[in-house]
């Protein structure tokens, strides 16, 4: 299998090392200048959907052509439940997609890619993580977020010319106990470095690292990759060329793959990709671009957060969903409408051809009840009307989001059909704001996958929108 395209997504918000040091009086994540912070309505699955969509777009592969989905993450919203089920729907992959979930180790991204290379039909490999740690440890200071995805097929421009793996026994360097959201470790510096060095070196052993333009190494911080570079036969420039940790922080299972995306986008032809997870396990790949590997990566941030604003987005300062009741959309009835909610699939009336959203019930134009043909909508739409829901104005189920992210807009947006028959239909959609004014009538917005809310322990995802000029490339 070959590499057909690569995608990456990192949230727009950044918490700088200086801001943490100002707030906490300490910052122990070496070599990290800023970490990415997910918005309150982003999680490992929404980021995975963003990265996956970019990779498929880069590869020019239609979602329905994907044969297998490999999802890697240590921070999926549920310890038990196939995140691939939601991700498949968010991306529009067919239900006959074979899926596998790789978790429990930051090496999961490499494991997912290695398994994908064994397949013989188009496979989407996605690694996504939103790492957390406590505020008085380097793990917490380094904790970042992001997602990267690779599309594998038979004739892509990239080739994995060699690969290796290693499993050593090095307990205690980094772990998260059952039920905890915080990654921690014993903090035995020399032992930690040795574990990383011997495991990575074992995986890389036999790969020809000479001549690689960039080395995208697992980066728990911005120091460790350089500490082990020599053992891998790499110089520091090569490691730097495959590193995003200084700008993104520790992106867990997505860490090295984000480095790969960034390096390829910068024109690297030969990249060493090496993932690592404590315990310890490692996967290494030598990736060669025989032709240019298409990349769509959104890695840079554009909004700096204060420490308080970052922690607010994480939910540290609110008490969650208040009592009082939320909009009662049962999970079964929610599931029935997922295509519309996750991917803005409208309907075209079988009787008169008018577009309708949601595609159910009698046609709004002709009144017929003949049902609808699927009519996927474009992701870019035009605001027909909107209002800003100010602090305190959200219904209870959206109160946590508002407490964490602040004002948002509730809008009605006209989205055009992707099909040849054209036409547009009005869709109610929330516009996520990050300090921007709410979009005005006639302004453009772009749909994005986000968390709507949790109810009865079950997370609901749906399409929201960003102001079009806030959409990062």
Partner 1 sequence: MRDAYVVGAGQTDFGSFPDESYRSLFATAVDRTLASADGLGRGDVDEAVVGTLGVGGRQLGLSGPAVTEFAGLSVPTTRVENACAASGYAVRNAVQAVKSGMADVVLAGGYEVMTDASGDATKYWLGVSGETEWERLTGTTFAGTYAQMARAYLDEYDDATVEDLSRAAVKNHANASENPHAQLRFECSLDDATDAATVADPLTLYHCCPTTDGAAAVLVVSEDVAEDHDDLDAARVAGVGAASDRVGLFERDTYTAIPASERAAESAYEMADRGPEDVDFAEVHDCFAIAELLAYEDLGFCERGEAPHLLREGVTNRDGDLPVNVSGGLKAKGHPIGATGAGQLVELWKQLTGHAGDRQLDGPEVGLAHNVGGSGGAAVVTILEGDTEREGKR
Identify the three-state secondary structure at position 429. Answer: strand
Cβ 128 to partner 1, closest distance in Å? 24
Considering only 69, 76, 90, 429, the residue that binds partner 1 (CB under 8 A) is: 429
Under the criterion CB under 8 A, does residue 306 sit at the interface with partner 1? Answer: no
Identify the three-state secondary structure at position 153. Answer: strand
Under the criterion CB under 8 A, does residue 428 sit at the interface with partner 1? Answer: yes
Nearest to 276 by CA among 330, 233, 220: 220
Identify the three-state secondary structure at position 368. Answer: coil
Neighbouring C-beta atoms of residue 110, cutoff 10 Å: 31
> Judged by CB, which is closer to partner 1: 166, or 405?
405
Q: Beta strands of 301-443 (E only): which ranges? A: 303-305, 345-349, 355-356, 372-389, 408-417, 424-432
Nearest to 259 by CA among 144, 181, 153, 168: 144
Residues of this chain, 208-267, that bind partner 1 according to CB under 8 A: none
**Tokens for 19?**
């801001």
Q: What span, in angstroms and rounded, lies between the C-alpha atoms of 452 and 397? A: 9
Considering only 69, 90, 148, 427, the residue that binds partner 1 (CB under 8 A) is: 427
Under the criterion CB under 8 A, does residue 194 sit at the interface with partner 1? Answer: no
Considering only 225, 249, 301, 326, the residue that binds partner 1 (CB under 8 A) is: 326
Please list, residue by residue across 7-28, b when 16 or more beta carbons sit within 10 angstroms of its beta carbon and e when fewer do: bbbbbbbbbbbebbeebeeebb
Looking at 45-53, 277-285, 344-352, 426-434, which segment touches partner 1 (CB under 8 A)? 426-434
Cβ 426 to partner 1, closest distance in Å? 5
> Judged by CB, which is closer to partner 1: 236, or 390?
390
Identify the three-state secondary structure at position 240. Answer: helix
Binding-site string for partner 1 from residue 385 to residue 414, where x marks contact by CB under 8 A and - marks none: xxxxxx--xxxx-xx-xx-----x-xxx--
Cβ 442 to partner 1, closest distance in Å? 8
Binding-site string for partner 1 from residue 350 to residue 389, where x marks contact by CB under 8 A and - marks none: -------xx-----x-------------------xxxxxx
Q: What span, in angstroms and rounded, lies between the C-alpha atoms of 215 and 110? A: 14
Considering only 185, 249, 252, 462, the residue that binds partner 1 (CB under 8 A) is: 462
CA terminus-to-terminus distance, the chain: 28
Under the criterion CB under 8 A, does residue 322 sit at the interface with partner 1? Answer: yes
* Interaction site with partner 1 (CB under 8 A): 322-329, 333, 337, 341, 357-358, 364, 384-390, 393-396, 398-399, 401-402, 408, 410-412, 426-430, 438, 440-441, 452, 460, 462
């Amino acid at each position: 299998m070959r590499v057909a395209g690569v995608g990456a997504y990192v949230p727009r918000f950044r918490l700088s090392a200086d801001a943490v040091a100002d707030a906490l009086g300490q910052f122990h994540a070496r070599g990290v200048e800023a970490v990415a912070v997910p918005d309150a309505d982003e999680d490992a699955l929404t980021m995975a959907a963003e990265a996956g969509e970019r990779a498929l777009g880069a590869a020019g592969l239609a979602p329905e052509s994907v044969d297998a989905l490999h999802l890697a993450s240590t921070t999926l919203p549920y310890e038990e439940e196939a995140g691939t089920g939601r991700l498949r729907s968010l991306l529009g992959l067919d239900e006959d997609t074979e899926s596998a979930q790789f978790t429990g180790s930051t090496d999961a991204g490499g494991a997912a890619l290695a398994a994908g290379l064994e397949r013989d039909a188009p496979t989407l490999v996605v690694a996504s993580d939103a790492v957390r740690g406590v505020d008085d440890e380097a793990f917490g200071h380094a904790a970042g977020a992001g997602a990267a995805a690779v599309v594998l097929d038979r004739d892509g421009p990239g080739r994995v010319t060699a690969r290796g793996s290693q499993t050593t026994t090095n307990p205690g360097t980094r772990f998260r106990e059952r039920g905890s959201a915080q990654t921690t470790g014993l903090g035995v510096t020399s032992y930690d470095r040795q574990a990383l060095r011997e495991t990575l070196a074992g995986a890389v052993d036999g790969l020809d690292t000479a001549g690689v333009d960039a080395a995208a190494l697992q980066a728990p911080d911005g120091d460790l990759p350089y500490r082990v570079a020599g053992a891998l036969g790499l110089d520091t420039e090569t490691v730097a060329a495959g590193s995003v940790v200084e700008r993104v922080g520790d992106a867990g299972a997505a860490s090295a793959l984000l480095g790969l995306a960034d390096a390829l986008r910068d024109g690297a032809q030969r990249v060493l990709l090496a993932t690592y997870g404590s315990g310890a396990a490692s996967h290494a790949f030598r990736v060669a671009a025989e032709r240019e590997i298409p990349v769509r990566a959104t890695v840079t941030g554009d909004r700096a957060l204060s420490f308080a604003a970052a922690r607010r987005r994480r939910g540290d300062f609110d008490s969650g969903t208040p009592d009082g009741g939320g909009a009662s959309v049962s999970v079964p009835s929610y599931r029935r409408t997922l295509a519309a909610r996750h991917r803005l699939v409208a309907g075209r009336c079988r009787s008169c051809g008018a577009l309708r959203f949601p595609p159910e019930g009698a046609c709004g134009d002709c009144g017929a009840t003949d049902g609808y043909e699927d009519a996927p909508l474009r992701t870019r739409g035009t605001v027909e009307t909107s209002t800003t829901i100010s602090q305190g104005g959200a219904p209870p189920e959206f109160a946590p989001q508002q407490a964490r992210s602040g004002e948002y807009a509730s809008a009605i947006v006209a989205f055009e059909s992707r099909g040849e028959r054209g036409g547009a239909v009005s869709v109610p959609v929330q516009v996520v704001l990050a300090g921007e004014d709410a979009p005005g009538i006639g302004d453009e917005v772009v749909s994005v996958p986000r968390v709507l809310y949790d109810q009865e322990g079950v997370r609901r995802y749906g399409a929201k929108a960003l102001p079009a000029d806030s959409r990062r490339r």
